[in-house]
C-alpha cells in the first residue's frame, strides 16, 4: 500500500489526478475501432457507420475526450482560427465590435485569435509569424491602419483578409465599411438646419480613412451652403483630445455648431464646454458625434450622433467568411453599410423628434 503525506496547508495530489489529455487513440481503444474512425466521427460530413459513431461518442463521453482542433490544423490546409487584428481596442466602439464579432464567430464554429497590432510597426515580423504559424483561416483587420506588409504577407501565403473600415486599394481583400461620407453629410445638414453658422469640426491627428471620409463630406456639404467651417486635428482619438479642443477653441470664437468625428471626442468637448465656458447645450451650442458608443446615451450627455451599426458590420464579415468556407475564394467585394442618425438632446430643434 502506498502512503502519502503532506505538510499542513499543502494539498495532496494523487497520481490518478495527473492525467494526460485523453487522445483519439484512447477513444479508439475503448470503442474498438480504428484511430481514423474516431477522426471521421468528429469530422462533419465524413463517412462512418451509425453504430460505430455511437460507440465512439459513448467512449469519448466516458473518457472526457475533446477534439484537438490545433492538431487538426496540422493535417489540414487551414484551421478554423480567425485572426482578429486591431489597435486601440480599449476604445468603446472597437471593444463593442470585438465583443459582437467574436460571439458571432464562436456561434459559427470558428475560433478567435486576438492579434494586437499596436506595436506592429516595431515588431511586424512577430505579428505575421503568429498568423502564418497557426494556419489561420482568415484575418479580420478591425481597427487602426494596418501596415500594408501585414496584408501582403498574408495574401502571399493564401490567408484571406477582411478589412473593416479600412481601405487598401490595389490589394485582393474583402472590405466592409460604414458609410462615413453619408454620416458627415448628415451631420452638416442637421447643424445647418438647426441654424448653426459658426461651425467647427473636431478630429484627432489620426487621419484614418474613416475619419477623413467624415471630415471631407462634412466640409463639402457646408461649403455648398456658403458657410465657413474650422477644422481642428490634434492628439489621439480620445476624450482628452475633445476636452483640449474645447479649451483651445471656445476661448477664441463662440462656435455654435460642432461636429466631433467620434463620440469620445464629443464627450470631452461637451464636458469642457459646460464646465469651463458655461455653454448651454443645445440652446447656444449644438454638438453631433459619430459611432453611438454606449456612453453617448448616458443621461449626462444624451449625445446626438451617427450610429455605426455593429450588427450589420458583423453580419457582412460573417457572410464573407461563410462564403469562403463553403465555396473557397469568391470574388472580392467592397460592401458599404448605411449609418443612422440617433437623435438625443445636443442639437437644437431635434430634441422633439427623439423616440423612446
Which pLDDT tens digit goes with each residue over 33-45? 998 888 888 776 7
What CATH number is given to the structural domain containing 165?
A: 3.40.50.2300
Last residue of a domain, one of 172, 206, 237: 172
Residue 86 lies in a domain: yes
Q: Which residue has the cell 476624450?
A: 239
Contact 265, 245 (CB under 8 A): yes
Same domain membership, residue 185 and residue 168:
no
Domain boundary among 150, 172, 194: 172
12 within domain boundaries? no
Range of the domain at 115: 81-172
Shared-domain flag, residues 188 and 283: yes
Same domain membership, residue 346 and residue 213: yes
Q: Is the dihedral of CA 239, 242, 244, 246 positive or negative?
A: negative
Number of domains in the chain: 3
pLDDT in tens, 293-336: 999 999 999 999 999 999 999 999 999 999 888 877 777 889 99
CB 34 within 8 A of CB 40: no
Contact (Cβ atoms closer than 8 angstroms) between residue 88 and residue 143: yes
Q: Is 224 exposed, middle or buried (0-12, 13-18, 19+ CB in 10 A)?
A: exposed
Instruction: Tally the residues of the chain.
Output: 356
Q: Would 29 be classed as within a structural domain? A: yes
pTM of the predicted structure, to 2 decimals: 0.76
The predicted structure's pLDDT at residue 6: 47
- Determine the pLDDT at residue 46: 78
| Residue 347, all three cell numbers | 442639437
* 243 and 152 both lie in a single domain: no
Query: Of 172, 191, 212, which residue sits at a domain end?
Result: 172
| Together in a domain, 190 and 51 | no
- Give pLDDT, residue 77: 52
Q: Please tell me whether residues 150 and 31 are part of one structural domain.
A: no
- Assess whether 348 and 251 both reside in one domain: yes
Same domain, yes or no: 201 and 349: yes
In a domain, 104, yes or no: yes
Q: Are 190 and 272 found together in one domain? A: yes
Instruction: Judge if 149 and 258 occupy the same domain.
Output: no
The 10s digit of each residue's pLDDT in 132-190 is 777 788 989 886 665 677 788 888 888 889 999 988 888 888 999 999 999 999 999 99
Q: Tell whether 147 and 93 lie within a shared domain.
A: yes
Most confident among 18-32, 49-63, 271-285, 314-328 (mean pLDDT): 271-285
Q: Which of 49-58, 105-114, 340-349 has the highest mean pLDDT?
A: 340-349
Q: Is residue 70 part of a domain?
A: no
pLDDT class for 78, splitting at 50, 70, 90? low
CB proximity list for 272: less than 8 A, separation 6 or greater = 242, 243, 244, 245, 246, 247, 250
For residue 47, pLDDT beyond 50: yes
Average pLDDT, the chain: 85
Which of 313, 319, 303, 305 minimizes the C-alpha distance to 338?
313
Same domain, 345 and 218: yes
**pLDDT tens figures, 215-274:** 999 999 999 999 999 999 999 999 999 999 999 999 989 999 999 999 999 999 999 999
Residue 138 is assigned to a structural domain of this protein: yes
Looking at the domain assignment, is residue 294 inside a domain? Answer: yes
User: What's the grid cell of residue 85?
Assistant: 487584428
Return d(Cα 82, Cα 136) in angstroms, integer: 6
Amino acid at each position: 500500500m502506498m502512503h502519502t503525506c503532506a505538510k499542513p496547508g499543502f494539498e495532496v495530489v494523487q497520481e490518478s489526478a495527473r492525467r494526460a489529455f485523453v487522445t483519439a487513440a484512447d477513444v479508439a481503444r475503448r470503442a474498438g475501432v480504428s484511430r481514423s474512425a474516431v477522426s471521421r466521427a468528429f469530422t462533419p460530413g465524413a463517412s462512418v457507420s451509425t453504430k460505430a459513431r455511437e460507440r465512439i461518442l459513448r467512449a469519448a463521453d466516458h473518457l472526457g475526450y475533446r477534439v484537438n482542433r490545433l492538431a487538426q490544423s496540422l493535417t489540414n490546409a487551414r484551421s478554423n482560427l480567425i485572426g482578429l487584428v486591431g489597435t486601440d481596442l480599449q476604445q468603446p466602439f472597437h471593444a463593442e465590435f470585438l465583443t459582437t464579432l467574436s460571439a458571432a464567430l464562436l456561434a459559427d464554429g470558428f475560433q478567435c485569435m486576438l492579434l494586437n497590432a499596436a506595436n506592429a510597426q516595431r515588431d511586424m515580423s512577430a505579428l505575421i509569424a503568429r498568423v502564418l504559424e497557426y494556419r489561420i483561416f482568415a484575418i479580420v483587420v478591425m481597427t487602426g491602419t494596418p501596415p500594408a506588409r501585414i496584408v501582403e504577407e498574408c495574401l502571399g501565403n493564401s490567408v484571406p483578409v477582411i478589412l473593416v473600415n479600412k481601405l487598401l486599394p490595389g490589394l485582393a481583400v474583402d472590405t466592409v465599411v460604414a458609410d462615413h461620407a453619408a454620416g458627415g453629410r448628415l451631420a452638416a445638414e442637421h447643424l445647418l438646419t438647426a441654424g448653426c453658422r459658426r461651425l467647427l469640426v473636431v478630429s484627432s491627428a489620426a487621419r484614418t480613412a474613416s475619419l477623413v471620409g467624415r471630415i471631407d463630406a462634412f466640409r463639402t456639404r457646408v461649403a455648398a451652403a456658403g458657410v465657413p467651417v474650422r477644422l481642428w486635428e490634434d492628439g489621439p482619438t480620445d476624450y482628452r483630445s475633445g476636452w483640449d479642443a474645447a479649451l483651445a477653441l471656445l476661448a477664441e470664437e463662440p462656435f455654435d455648431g460642432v461636429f466631433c468625428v467620434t463620440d469620445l471626442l464629443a464627450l470631452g468637448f461637451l464636458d469642457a464646454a459646460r464646465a469651463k465656458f458655461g455653454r448651454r447645450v443645445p440652446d447656444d451650442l449644438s454638438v453631433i458625434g459619430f459611432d453611438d458608443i454606449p456612453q453617448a446615451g448616458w443621461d449626462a450627455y444624451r449625445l446626438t450622433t451617427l450610429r455605426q451599426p455593429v450588427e450589420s458590420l458583423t453580419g457582412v464579415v460573417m457572410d464573407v467568411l461563410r462564403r469562403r468556407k463553403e465555396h473557397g475564394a469568391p470574388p472580392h467585394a467592397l460592401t458599404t453599410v448605411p449609418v443612422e442618425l440617433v437623435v438625443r438632446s445636443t442639437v437644437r430643434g431635434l430634441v422633439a423628434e427623439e423616440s423612446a
